[in-house]
């Protein structure tokens, strides 16, 4: 069985005055139908640009310079904007971080939802409104019939994000890329959205790529985890296995730096230094300058190693693995 | 133990600025009622010298407003914030900050540093202007505080844009320390930083506290962070404190249903392969602070609420403001 989404050696670069910024540089992974994959990294890791690349949302000075992105067997890299527009919203959708900028402020919720439907099929207004109402109810919006006439500014941040999710679900896409969809929300609202997304993905059979910097949130949802650093995947595999025994020192460092991993008042285990500039990456492993395990071998790029479902790119993985 | 910081029934109301049309309508007696936000609604608390108080709550609960009143940069509508028994702000129609003993560290180090000033000037401006050091000592003083926060003294000659977010937050901390404060109000000081950088800054706060004996109010929405740095914690909901007490006790067995719900709603790191989720969302929406529900503000979202909760606001007694506090779990 082939995967729903197959990304191979994706490289998305940006031209800048200080040189080529290699935001995504040689990323390969699969997403299966109905699977929830967590894509984790810090700012500058390339997680959002990976998501944008999948939807063909890379604008100049950025460009996909190499690699392949196949959705349901169809190559997306190189498609015209017109062809991409037919896919976006239909087979593949995105939920953005900030719901207050993702919705059009001068159109009512109903109008925006009707437009999203009409872009892909001809449907009567009554039928469109009914689908919109059903979905608003499904994402937990009270009195959905009334909300169709509301404008985004009349809704709270959590409600707006629910509307954005409902719009993403309208055409029943097979994949939704969610870019930090709960980061801008309060803790109690975040939990509601997480629970709803999990149930929706299950009920609709939709695969999710959940982009986040927050390991705890991702662990509540995803079954598989991909950790990115400086434009590359450093580790991937089943989420429980990675969190219990990470193989890449960067994953270990991310986990150790969480306050919940230390006794109250004790020093947190910090990762020294900060991420290198993407325009000026060190040769070899990009994490080496911050890594306590680094030695001369790390001056060469670590090859990808695989062991069953787990993969990592490190010359000195943290546990002995069968050769 | 003496209290360094004390607030007495401190309250802050914000009025919506009426539009021109509204002002004219009011002149002819046809205007609508003024809308008021009760950002902080009568809070009394004290923080002992050397203590770290965590202030937790969701957006709109008034935690930042309370912090600013204690720092003496926002005049209270009612009540007073006292630093060592002296009001943090003078009275009158144009109140000004009266103390340099409390300093603030803000959330966004990209907005809190003047982009056209050199780092050395950013740090030394305050102490020179307030006569804490002589102008001739400025360079040495800036170098000292840069070293304290873990930056190279050569940073003094550079500008904010040459530094990363984590480094900028160190600079903002150095600027606060240069005023020789007794207390720091830290308003979400790591919320805009990356995870690996957050740990560096949290460790810096822990070190400063140890070495300088600073009193701190640590404002955050991140429960695990607050639990890590605080001796005591106050949980706020729509302008009021719903629970306050020893950090360990509150996190082990919260007594207010909102605290319990807040703790349950934060996803925990799930290490097993089991399908359990590890979090329980709070039902309902956060009500608008323009129009908070009567009685206990939390009653509409609370499963323990009854008729009394809808009418009568519970008073903070024994560390909890609830008509039906949860029982303490046996230790």
Q: CB count, 10 Å around CB of A295?
A: 10
DSSP A159-221: HHHHHHHHHHHTT--SEEEEESTTTTS-HHHHHHHHHHHHHHHHHHT-EEEEEES-HHHHHHH
- Mean pLDDT value of segment B154-160: 94
The pLDDT assigned to B208 comes to 93
Q: How far is B312 from chain A (nearest CA, A)?
A: 25
* Cβ within 8 Å of residue B214, ≥6 positions away: B50, B181, B182, B183, B184, B208
Verify whether the Cβ–Cβ distance B265 to A265 is below 8 Å.
no
What is the CA B8 to chain-centroid distance, rounded?
A: 17
| Mean pLDDT score of chain A | 91
Closest CA in chain A for residue B200: A270
Separation in Å, CA A269 to CA A272, A290, B170: 9, 13, 18
DSSP H helices, chain B, are 20-27, 63-70, 119-129, 138-148, 165-177, 195-212, 223-229, 247-252, 257-265, 307-311
The pLDDT assigned to B113 comes to 95
The reply to whether B152 touches chain A by the CB within 8 Å rule is: no
CA–CA dist B281, A188 (Å, integer): 6
Lowest mean pLDDT among A257-266, B13-22, B216-225: B13-22
CA–CA dist A160, B323 (Å, integer): 34
Kindly tell me if the per-residue pLDDT of A94 is higher than 80.
yes
Which among B194, B267, B285 has CB closest to A156? Answer: B285
Kindly tell me if the per-residue pLDDT of A254 is higher than 60.
yes
Does the N-terminal peptide bond of residue A61 adopt cis geometry, omega within 30 degrees of 0?
yes
Interface of A with B in 211-230 (CB under 8 A): 213-217, 219-220
Kindly tell me if the per-residue pLDDT of B19 is higher than 90.
no
Find chain A residues with C-beta within 8 A of B277's C-beta.
Answer: 195, 198, 220
Kindly tell me if the per-residue pLDDT of A247 is higher than 80.
yes
Of A92-106, A184-198, A309-323, the range with the highest mean pLDDT is A92-106
Instruction: Give the pair of three-digit tokens for residue A270.
Output: 């910090």
Kindly tell me if the per-residue pLDDT of A152 is higher than 90.
yes
Closest CA in chain A for residue B208: A267
Lowest mean pLDDT among A146-155, A179-188, A195-204, B200-209: A179-188
Residue B77's nearest CA partner among B15, B10, B17 is: B10
The reply to whether B225 touches chain A by the CB within 8 Å rule is: yes
The pLDDT assigned to A225 comes to 96
Separation in Å, CA B162 to CA A43, A235, B36: 17, 31, 42
Residue A173's nearest CA partner among A87, A302, A52 is: A87
Find chain A residues with C-beta within 8 A of B108's C-beta.
Answer: none
End-to-end CA distance of chain A: 28
Q: What is the DSSP letter of B159?
A: -
The reply to whether A269 touches chain B by the CB within 8 Å rule is: yes
Do B278 and B268 form a contact (C-beta atoms < 8 A)? Answer: yes
- When scoring B61, B194, B223, B259 by the number of chain A Cβ atoms within 10 A, the one with the most, hence best to mutate, is B194
Q: Where are the beta strands (DSSP E) in chain A?
A: 5-16, 19-31, 36-40, 62-71, 74-75, 92-95, 175-179, 207-212, 224-229, 232-238, 305-307, 310-312
- Mean pLDDT value of segment A295-299: 92
Kindly tell me if the per-residue pLDDT of A323 is higher than 50.
no
Do B170 and B201 form a contact (C-beta atoms < 8 A)? Answer: yes
Q: What is the DSSP letter of A289?
A: G
Interface of A with B in 140-159 (CB under 8 A): 156, 158-159
Domains and CATH numbers, chain A: 5-91+173-312 (3.40.50.300)
Q: How far is A292 from chain B (nearest CA, A)?
A: 15
Closest CA in chain B for residue A220: B277
Closest CA in chain B for residue A277: B164
Verify whether the Cβ–Cβ distance A187 to B262 is below 8 Å.
yes
**What region does B85 belong to: left with phi over 0, alpha with psi -120 to 50, or beta?**
left
Q: Which residue has the higher pLDDT, B277 or B205?
A: B205
CA–CA dist B69, B225 (Å, integer): 23
Do B69 and B267 form a contact (C-beta atoms < 8 A)? Answer: no
Q: CB count, 10 Å around CB of B147?
A: 13
Verify whether the Cβ–Cβ distance A274 to B269 is below 8 Å.
no
Verify whether the Cβ–Cβ distance B266 to A186 is below 8 Å.
no
What is the CA angle B174-B178-B180, rounded to 5?
125
Domains and CATH numbers, chain B: 3-17+35-253 (3.40.50.300)
* % of chain B surpassing 90 pLDDT: 68
Specify the pairing of strand B183-187 against strand B3-15.
unpaired
Q: What is the ipTM of this complex?
A: 0.81
| Mean pLDDT score of chain B | 90
Specify the pairing of strand A232-238 against strand A175-179.
unpaired
The pLDDT assigned to A320 comes to 57
The reply to whether A310 touches chain B by the CB within 8 Å rule is: no
| Tally of helices (H runs) and strands (E runs) in chain A | 11, 12
Strand partners, A62: A14
Do B85 and B102 form a contact (C-beta atoms < 8 A)? Answer: no
Lowest mean pLDDT among A270-274, A296-300, B173-177, B260-264: A270-274
A177 φ/ψ angles, rounded to the nearest 5 degrees: -95, 120
Q: CB count, 10 Å around CB of B158?
A: 15
CA–CA dist A228, A223 (Å, integer): 17
Q: CB count, 10 Å around CB of B50?
A: 16
Do B240 and B57 form a contact (C-beta atoms < 8 A)? Answer: no
CA–CA dist A33, A50 (Å, integer): 19
Find chain A residues with C-beta within 8 A of B221's C-beta.
Answer: 186-187
């Amino acid at each position: 069985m082939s995967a729903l989404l197959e990304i191979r050696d994706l490289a998305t670069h940006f031209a800048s005055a200080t040189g080529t910024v290699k935001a995504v540089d040689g990323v390969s992974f699969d997403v299966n139908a109905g699977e929830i994959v967590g894509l984790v990294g810090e700012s500058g890791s390339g997680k959002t640009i990976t998501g944008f690349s999948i939807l063909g949302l890379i604008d100049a000075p950025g460009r996909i310079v190499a690699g392949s992105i196949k959705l349901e067997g169809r190559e997306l890299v190189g498609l015209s904007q017109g062809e991409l527009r037919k896919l976006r919203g239909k087979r593949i959708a995105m939920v953005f971080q900030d719901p207050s900028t993702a919705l059009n402020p001068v159109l009512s919720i109903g109008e925006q939802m009707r437009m999203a439907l009409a872009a892909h099929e001809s449907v009567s207004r009554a039928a469109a409104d009914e689908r919109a109402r059903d979905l608003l109810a499904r994402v937990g919006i009270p009195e959905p019939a009334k909300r169709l006439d509301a404008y985004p500014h009349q809704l709270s941040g959590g409600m707006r994000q629910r509307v954005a999710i409902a719009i993403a679900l309208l055409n029943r896409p097979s994949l939704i890329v969610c870019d930090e969809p709960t980061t801008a929300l309060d803790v109690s609202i975040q939990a509601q959205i997480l629970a709803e997304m999990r149930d929706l993905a299950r009920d609709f059979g939709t695969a999710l790529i959940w982009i986040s910097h927050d390991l705890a949130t991702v662990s509540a949802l995803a079954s598989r985890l991909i950790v990115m650093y400086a434009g590359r995947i450093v580790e991937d595999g089943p989420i429980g296995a990675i969190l219990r025994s990470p193989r890449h020192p960067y994953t270990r460092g991310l986990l150790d730096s969480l306050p919940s991993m230390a006794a109250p008042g004790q020093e947190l285990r910090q990762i020294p230094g900060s991420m290198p500039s993407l325009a000026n990456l060190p040769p070899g492993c990009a994490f080496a300058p911050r890594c306590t395990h680094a030695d001369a071998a790390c001056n060469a790029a670590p090859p990808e190693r695989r062991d069953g479902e787990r993969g990592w790119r490190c010359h000195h993985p943290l546990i002995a693995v069968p050769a | 133990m003496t209290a360094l910081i004390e607030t007495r029934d401190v309250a802050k109301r914000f009025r919506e600025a009426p539009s021109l049309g509204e002002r004219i309508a009011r002149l002819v007696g046809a205007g609508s009622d003024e809308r008021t936000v009760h950002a902080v609604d009568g809070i009394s608390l004290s923080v002992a010298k050397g203590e770290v108080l965590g202030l937790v709550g969701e957006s709109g609960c008034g935690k930042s407003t309370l912090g600013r009143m204690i720092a003496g940069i926002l005049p209270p509508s009612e009540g007073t914030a006292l630093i060592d028994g002296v009001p943090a702000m003078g009275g009158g129609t144009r109140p000004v900050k009266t103390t340099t003993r409390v300093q603030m560290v803000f959330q966004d180090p990209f907005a809190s540093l003047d982009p056209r000033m050199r780092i050395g000037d950013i740090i030394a401006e305050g102490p020179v202007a307030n006569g804490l050091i002589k102008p001739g000592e400025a360079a040495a003083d800036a170098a000292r505080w840069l070293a304290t926060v873990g930056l190279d003294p050569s940073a003094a000659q550079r500008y904010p844009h040459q530094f990363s977010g984590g480094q900028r937050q160190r600079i903002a901390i150095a600027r606060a320390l240069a005023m020789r404060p007794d207390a720091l109000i830290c308003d979400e000081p790591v919320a805009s930083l990356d995870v690996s950088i957050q740990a560096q800054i949290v460790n810096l706060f822990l070190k400063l506290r140890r070495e300088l004996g600073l009193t701190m109010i640590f404002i955050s929405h991140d429960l695990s962070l607050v639990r890590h740095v605080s001796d005591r914690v106050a949980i706020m909901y729509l302008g009021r404190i719903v629970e306050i007490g020893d950090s360990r006790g509150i996190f082990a067995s919260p007594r207010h249903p909102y605290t319990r719900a807040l703790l349950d709603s934060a996803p925990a790191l799930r290490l097993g392969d089991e399908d359990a989720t590890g979090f329980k969302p709070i039902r309902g929406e956060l009500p608008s602070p323009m129009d908070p529900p009567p009685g206990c503000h939390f009653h509409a979202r609370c499963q323990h609420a009854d008729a009394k909760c809808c009418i009568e606001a519970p008073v903070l007694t024994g560390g909890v403001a609830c008509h039906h506090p949860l029982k303490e779990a046996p230790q």
